[in-house]
Amino acid sequence: MGKIILTGDRPTGKLHVGHYVGSLRRRVELQNSGEYDKIYIMIADAQALTDNADNPEKVRQNIIEVALDYLACGLDPKKSTILIQSQIPELCELSFYYMNLVTVSRLQRNPTVKSEIQMRNFEASIPVGFFTYPISQAADITAFKATTVPAGEDQMPMVEQTQEIVHKFNSVYGEALVEPKILLPDNQACMRLPGIDGKAKMSKSLGNCIYLSEEPEDIKKKVMSMFTDPDHIRVQDPGKIEGNCVFTYLDAFCKPEHFERYLPDYANLDELKSHYRRGGLGDVKVKKFLNNVLQETLEPIRTRRKELEKDIPAIYEILKKGSEEAEKVAAKTLADVKNAMKINYFDDMALIHEQTEKYRKE
Ligand code: ATP
Ligand code: MG
């Protein structure tokens, strides 16, 4: 059994810097490490429709945006298979069988789904599809026999749900599925990057994002308006690092060489933090430094994206090829699943023989 990656994003908007540090940057490193036998990157349009049923146009428009962001960040279709979820009908069939292995109360306990329901004000009117999306995510992961799911912290409950489904399936029907593991970012700040408003998570749905394709002046405006420590009023006041977005972003993005280039008075981030804590360091200076760091990180991504935007049909072709290749793999897994469940009646010679014998005796 090889090492296989499956991960993806919902096409509900352009990708933001939370995606970058939480998952995308890592994916590109893993892709280029050569340590994985297969890498599948899924644009989860069917999942996006579970809470955007009345707005299919939003999902349709954002498929290309997500694909452009992927390629701009360095995902390479020669090394990674990029696919569109809805083009793989086998995923629905797998979800349908997995639904029998999960209880309603188990889904109700999923903390990510709980907070997403609250965020979307669904209350009692939760679409069934949305409520059950952790099951469909288990289908996505297992269809490709993924061993590794690089994702942000919010995906932990989904991977746990998948592990439970795999465990249950394999013990009831026999070993057909592979149990995946989540691969979280190694830096705490990247697990769940907050929005520029200081809210728990940067998220397309909350409108508190810095997008990967953002223009330099917009990045600067957003950085300068970021949430810091509300009690740090005068420069000489001592400041708090905890919950201070600007420092969380520096934790996620800043490298030692950025100090040499943009802030040579400090050797590293620890020195900058202790000066802020002591007092005597203004927010504007730290924000200007963060702006330089983000501009340097995002500039090459934006430039590459602009090149890619010149040939949109080529991008759709990449997605078509990737989806076709992925469908073959998912079809093979579905056949394994149906064999294990013994619902492959027409290939099951033993069943036909058994029934023949039964009726011969009567
Ligand atoms: P939506 O609001 O539509 O749910 P989203 O911004 O949460 O969109 P997703 O497509 O749900 O983005 O998430 C895709 C991947 O990016 C997941 O692996 C998720 O863990 C990661 N991710 C999303 N937002 C963040 C964040 N703020 N910090 C770290 N990782 C994140
Ligand atoms: Mg999300």
Residue 124 reports pLDDT greater than 80: no
- d(CA 275, CA 270) in angstroms, rounded, equals 9
Q: Tell me the average pLDDT across 92-117.
A: 95
Helix (H) or strand (E) holding 124: none
pLDDT in tens, 130-165: 999 999 999 999 999 999 999 988 999 999 999 999
- d(CA 97, CA 143) in angstroms, rounded, equals 13
Nearest ligand 1 atom to the CA of 202 is 27
19 CA from centroid of ligand 1 (Å): 6
Q: Mention every residue, 6+ apart, whose C-beta is less than 8 A from residue 134.
A: 102, 107, 110, 113, 157, 158, 161, 162
pLDDT in tens, 16-26: 999 999 999 99
pLDDT in tens, 31-88: 999 999 999 999 999 999 999 999 999 999 999 999 999 999 999 999 999 999 999 9
Structure token pair of residue 112: 């990510």
- State residue 62's pLDDT score: 97
- State residue 199's pLDDT score: 78
Q: Which of 6, 7, 9, 41 to mutate to test the pocket of ligand 1 (most atoms within 8 A of CB)?
A: 9
Residue 123 reports pLDDT greater than 90: no
Q: Is the pTM of this model over 0.85?
A: yes
- State residue 152's pLDDT score: 87
- Cα 254 to Cα 29, 137, 237, 271, 290, distances in angstroms: 17, 33, 24, 13, 8
Nearest ligand 1 atom to the CA of 9 is 10
Kindly give the residue spans of alpha helices, DSSP state H, lying in the chain: 17-19, 25-33, 45-49, 56-73, 90-98, 104-108, 111-119, 128-131, 133-143, 156-173, 188-191, 216-224, 245-253, 256-262, 269-278, 283-308, 312-341, 349-361
Structure token pair of residue 181: 């593991």
Q: Which of 14, 16, 17, 19 to mutate to test the pocket of ligand 1 (most atoms within 8 A of CB)?
A: 19
pLDDT in tens, 174-220: 999 999 999 998 888 888 899 998 877 898 778 899 999 999 999 99
Nearest ligand 1 atom to the CA of 150 is 18
What letter would DSSP give residue 194? P
pLDDT in tens, 299-320: 999 999 999 999 999 999 999 9
pLDDT band at 263 (very low <50, low <70, confident <90, very high): very high
Residue with tokens 């897994």: 333
pLDDT band at 1 (very low <50, low <70, confident <90, very high): low
Kindly give the residue spans of alpha helices, DSSP state H, lying in 174-279: 188-191, 216-224, 245-253, 256-262, 269-278
| Ligand 1 surroundings by CB, under 6 angstroms | 9-10, 12, 18-19, 22-23, 151-152, 154-155, 192-193, 201-205
pLDDT in tens, 333-360: 999 999 999 999 998 999 999 999 999 9
Average pLDDT of the chain, as a whole number: 94
- State residue 194's pLDDT score: 93
- d(CA 84, CA 45) in angstroms, rounded, equals 7
- State residue 272's pLDDT score: 96
- d(CA 240, CA 142) in angstroms, rounded, equals 44
